[in-house]
Amino acid sequence: GSSGINAEWPLRPGVNQILRHVGELLDYEDDKMLEELYKKTAWCFDKKYPTSGKSHEMFKEAAQKPEVLDELDIDDHTKEVLLKNIKRRLTPQAVKVRADVEVLCYAYEGIDAVKAALRAGLKLATEEVPLKINLIAPPIYVISVTLFNEEKGVEAVRASMEAIKNSIEASKGTFNVKLDPKVVTEREDQKLQEELEQRERDMMEKDGDEDSEDEESEDDEEEESDENEV
């Protein structure tokens, strides 16, 4: 029975799921065939690189560098199906880290001080660490970054917060943390994007009700609105 496979070697769940799925896709008739696949793949990596969970690490590496699988004694079709499944399950997922901060300055030229502070926070952005800062509603700003490495993301956001804090406090302003750096789920991120878009719409409406009247008349009679605008 399949208990032999599980008992003999406590595989990481990811490896188990991948190999069982490959067995299904290749129409293996019995556990004997599946066991052969384990021997030639996961167990082979484990014997060769005996540190714990090694096959899991090798599979993970194969998601980025398929040639890792070349040393396995399996036919090309099996290798292709295996690689497809590894990629589907073990490709690293990007995570978004965000923090919300309050940046205020009531001094003369306070707006410039706030802008300078935010610029200081953005200075830390690089190609590898694409930090962003968005206004939610004055004086609340959201600092965010999307990376494959959660710790690095939190670190980058913290460093940006620190830079903003130092800059605004040097200008006699205040800095408060409203939300500590944390990983945002897709749903929370969606919500944030909607808030930002809503805010943009509000700003556009505020920018002038006269404009919006013009826009409405544009739909009705093109020429008339042209005269209005001139």
Instruction: Check pLDDT > 50 for residue 3.
Output: no
Long-range contacts of 55-59 (CB under 8 A, 24+ apart): 55/11, 55/12, 55/15, 56/11, 56/12, 56/14, 56/15, 59/14, 59/15, 59/18, 59/86, 59/90
User: Looking at residue 90, what is its pLDDT?
Assistant: 84
Residue 12, class by beta-carbon neighbours within 10 Å (0-12 exposed, 13-18 middle, 19+ buried)?
middle
User: 218 and 207 in contact (C-beta within 8 Å)?
Assistant: no
Higher pLDDT, 223 or 207: 207
- Condensed to tens digits (0 to 9), the pLDDT of residues 37-81 reads 999 999 999 888 877 668 888 998 898 899 999 999 999 999 999
* Residue % of the chain over a pLDDT of 70: 84
Average pLDDT, the chain: 85
Judged against a pLDDT cut of 50, whether residue 2 lies above it is answered with no
